[in-house]
Amino acid sequence: MLVRERMKEAVCVRPDQTLAAAARLLKRENIGCLPVCQDDTVLGMITDRDIAMRGVADGFDSNVMKVSDVMSLDVIHCSEDDSVESAVLTMHAAHVQRLAVTDGDGHLVGVISMSDAEGGASERRPYEVVFYREVLGDAGMPHHSELMRVAVAQGTKEEAVQAAIAQFEKAQHVSSWAAIANGYDVVTMSVDANGKHIEELECSSERDARIRPRARALWEEAGAPQGRDVQFWEQAANEVDTDRRPANDAH
């Protein structure tokens, strides 16, 4: 089967649009990356991680910063005449979930995702593990800044989490996921009797629930300064983790 038989119409963003506009488009389409296009020419790609790590996490205003400031210029693509199998191999090799599809002249004609290649939405993977970094907003309210979303097809929830952790650590080149992420959420996907897709979100919230009020208290005690969200979260996390550590481990 050829890529053109499974690909979908491309949803693009312009290089002069803001990160906020790109984020809204990603959320609306429920996808993780967008081709950055000028007319029908692909200039780059922007992912939810680009927005989180190169924009929001660095303190830039997403309503001002442009897509062209953070997009990746190295566009991974395939041809509409390639086999679906070769497209899957390309995605696996590049550790991506989606490819731009071009025609013989190099013009963008569509996008193919891993789920498209594996049979479409009716065969969605049962678990997604979403790794995030917790940051505080201007009002001291915490929110999750998504780092990476990993889909896992088989196994129990515990096995899916372990498989996702292994993929995350490999992709981020770290020995422990906790080195750069504060936690992860698990999305369980299923289909009800009417064929409707159901997603249930299970937050890794016990630790977060203890850290969140302490981080806010530290922020307020410091006079509610701007740009130090991560510092207060990490300080609170260290305090919580110390309190939770068994007494015989504290020495």
No. of H helices and E strands in the chain? Answer: 8, 9
Res 233: pLDDT:
76
Token pair in block for residue 32: 């993780």
Within 138-245, strands assigned E span 142-152, 183-191, 197-203
Percent with pLDDT over 70 in the chain: 80
At residue 120 the predicted structure's pLDDT band, cuts being 50, 70 and 90, is very low
Alpha carbon distance 68, 125 (integer Å): 32
The string over 192-213, giving b where at least 16 C-beta atoms fall within 10 Å of a residue's C-beta and e elsewhere, is eeeeeeeeeeeebeeebebbbe
Alpha carbon distance 219, 230 (integer Å): 10
| Range with lowest mean pLDDT among 4-13, 102-111, 195-204 | 195-204
40-66, pLDDT tens digit by residue?
Answer: 788 888 887 777 776 665 667 778 888
Question: What does the longest C-alpha to C-alpha distance in the chain come to?
Answer: 66
pTM of the model: 0.43
Res 105: pLDDT:
81
At residue 190 the predicted structure's pLDDT band, cuts being 50, 70 and 90, is low
Q: Which residue intervals of 122-184 are DSSP H helices?
A: 157-172
Domains and CATH numbers, the chain: 3-121 (3.10.580.10), 124-134+146-195 (no CATH)
Res 121: pLDDT:
39
203-236, pLDDT tens digit by residue?
Answer: 665 566 677 778 888 888 988 887 777 788 788 8
Res 251: pLDDT:
46
At residue 145 the predicted structure's pLDDT band, cuts being 50, 70 and 90, is confident
Alpha carbon distance 194, 91 (integer Å): 32
At residue 39 the predicted structure's pLDDT band, cuts being 50, 70 and 90, is confident
Q: Assess contact for 182 and 241: CB atoms under 8 A.
A: no
Unique residue bearing structure tokens 């049962």: 126
